[in-house]
């Protein structure tokens, strides 16, 4: 039996989140298009369908949504990406259905990829055939629609009605299929974090792209982990990322591909999206970071960071990144040369041991740059010790 699939991504959902922002998006990007443990989620769904016996997958993306460049690359050979504007995305779905039907597809899976569900395709198709239905709608354990339908390829009128009503109803009464497996609605940043943790803990089918260097610690190809950096399981570092000295990645954090975490920065329970840069000495906790923005999990807000020393984003094009690296190198060397020529000469050090012992230290001769005020002494008594929360975990 020839089975095909149509995936709709970046299409606005029917309701909005409580914060007023569009649901199923994080940092202005549809969650279904973001990288999760090294690969875009829509790629994983397409690969799962193909591995389950689906012959072709057509992915229809809304051009008005912010689709990452990485989603357009690395698709399976049997998958096709079609980009359409918001006004014509449903009509494009109807057209693709007719093309698949003409090419011999007996059943077509239509899925608006908002919620993530690990559907057993063979069981779903068998249930559809056993009931002899024109359309079968998949619902979760609570009876809420997952906006996933199985439509007979010969029922073009039913498919046209389904697309023209944006998957909100069927032309003829259909059958329901209740799904009790792994399901995540993916409406907020917290849902994205939950899906990521489930993948790291091997509670779903999302396996990290890379190899496990020690239990619970996964790294991709070409990762640079410099001396003094620490990776605390479970965590993931994507391909060609860089973790600078004294940085700590811990508590289920993921650093996606081509990202950089600078010296002394701690990433705890956070998702760092591809091509992101985190500055030195930061504490990034319980958040999703990327595209020069940060979305904390405990607040329904998204904050844009304008200071590139804190959070910035590298170019998604390899030649541009290479040119910027070469330019930074050529600007750094002359600057260091000029500093060396213009710097003050070092004072002569005493050669005699007795003379060196009698001289007072330079630190004692110069006054302190920032004297401690009397009121500060009251706030910070001498017996108080200030320590960072992250030790030898």
3-state secondary structure of 194: helix
Q: What would you report as the CA-atom Rg of the chain, rounded to the nearest whole angstrom? A: 28
**pLDDT of res. 348:** 61
Q: Domain spanning 209-313 has what CATH number?
A: 2.160.10
**pLDDT of res. 62:** 92
**pLDDT of res. 41:** 96
How many other C-beta atoms can be found within 10 angstroms of the C-beta atom of residue 146?
A: 21
Q: What is the domain class of 3-184 according to CATH?
A: alpha beta
Three-state SS sequence of 338-368: HHHHHCCCCCCCCCCHHHHHHCCCHHHHCCC
Tell me, yes or no, if the two domains 3-184 and 209-313 fold the same way: no
Tell me the C-alpha distance between 320 and 31, whole Å: 26
Residues 59/80, Cβ–Cβ less than 8 Å: yes
| Extents of the domains making up the chain | 3-184, 209-313
Q: Which of 232, 316, 256, 195 is nearest to 38 (CA)?
A: 256
**pLDDT of res. 38:** 95
Environment class of residue 28 by beta-carbon count within 10 Å: exposed (0-12), middle (13-18) or buried (19+)? middle
Tell me the C-alpha distance between 282 and 263, whole Å: 9
Tell me the C-alpha distance between 71 and 279, whole Å: 26
Environment class of residue 152 by beta-carbon count within 10 Å: exposed (0-12), middle (13-18) or buried (19+)? buried
**pLDDT of res. 19:** 36
Beta bridge partners of 58: 6, 80
**pLDDT of res. 74:** 86
To the nearest 10°, report the CA torsion of 18, 23, 28, 29.
Answer: 160
**Per-residue confidence in pLDDT tens, the chain, 393 aa:** 899 999 999 987 655 433 334 578 999 999 999 999 999 999 999 999 999 999 999 999 998 888 888 888 888 889 999 999 988 999 999 999 999 999 999 999 999 999 999 999 999 999 999 999 899 999 999 999 999 999 999 999 999 999 999 999 888 888 899 999 999 999 999 999 999 999 999 999 999 999 999 999 999 999 999 999 999 999 999 999 999 999 999 999 999 999 999 999 999 999 999 999 999 999 999 999 999 999 999 988 999 999 999 999 986 655 655 555 556 556 666 777 777 777 655 556 665 666 766 666 555 555 555 444 445 445 555 554 545 555 544
**pLDDT of res. 45:** 96
């Amino acid at each position: 039996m020839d089975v095909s699939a149509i995936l709709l991504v970046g299409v606005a959902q029917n309701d909005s989140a409580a914060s007023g922002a569009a649901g199923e998006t994080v940092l202005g990007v549809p969650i279904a298009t973001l990288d999760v443990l090294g690969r875009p989620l829509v790629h994983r769904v397409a690969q799962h369908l193909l591995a389950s016996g689906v012959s072709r997958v057509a992915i229809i993306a809304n051009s008005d949504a912010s689709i990452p460049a990485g989603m357009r690359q690395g698709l399976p050979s049997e998958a096709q990406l079609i980009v359409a504007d918001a006004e014509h995305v449903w009509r494009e779905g109807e057209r693709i259905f007719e093309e698949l039907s003409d090419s011999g597809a007996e059943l077509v899976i239509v899925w608006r990829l908002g919620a993530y569900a690990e559907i057993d395709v063979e069981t779903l198709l068998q249930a559809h055939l056993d009931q002899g239905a024109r359309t079968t709608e998949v619902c979760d354990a609570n009876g809420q629609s997952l906006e996933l339908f199985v439509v007979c390829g010969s029922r073009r009128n039913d498919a046209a009605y389904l697309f023209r009503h944006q998957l909100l109803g069927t032309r003829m009464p259909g059958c329901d299929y209740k799904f009790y497996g792994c399901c995540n609605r993916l409406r907020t940043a917290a849902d994205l974090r939950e899906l990521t943790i489930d993948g790291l803990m091997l509670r779903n089918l999302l396996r990290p792209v890379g190899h496990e260097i020690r239990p619970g610690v996964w790294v991709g190809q070409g990762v640079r982990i410099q001396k003094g950096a620490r990776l605390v399981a479970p965590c993931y570092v994507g391909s060609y990322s860089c973790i600078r000295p004294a940085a700590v990645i811990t508590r289920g954090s993921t650093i996606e591909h081509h990202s950089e975490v600078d010296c002394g920065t701690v990433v705890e329970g956070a998702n760092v999206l591809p091509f992101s840069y985190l500055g030195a000495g930061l504490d990034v906790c319980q958040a999703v970071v990327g595209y020069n923005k940060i979305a904390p999990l405990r607040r329904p807000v998204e904050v844009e960071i304008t200071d590139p020393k804190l959070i910035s984003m590298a170019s998604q094009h390899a030649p541009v990144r290479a040119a910027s690296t070469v330019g930074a190198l050529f600007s750094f060397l002359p600057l260091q040369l000029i500093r060396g020529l213009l710097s003050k000469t070092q004072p002569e050090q005493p050669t005699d041991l007795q003379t060196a012992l009698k001289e007072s230290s330079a630190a004692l001769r110069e006054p302190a740059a920032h004297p401690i005020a009397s009121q500060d002494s009251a706030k910070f008594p001498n017996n108080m010790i200030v320590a960072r929360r992250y030790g030898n975990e």
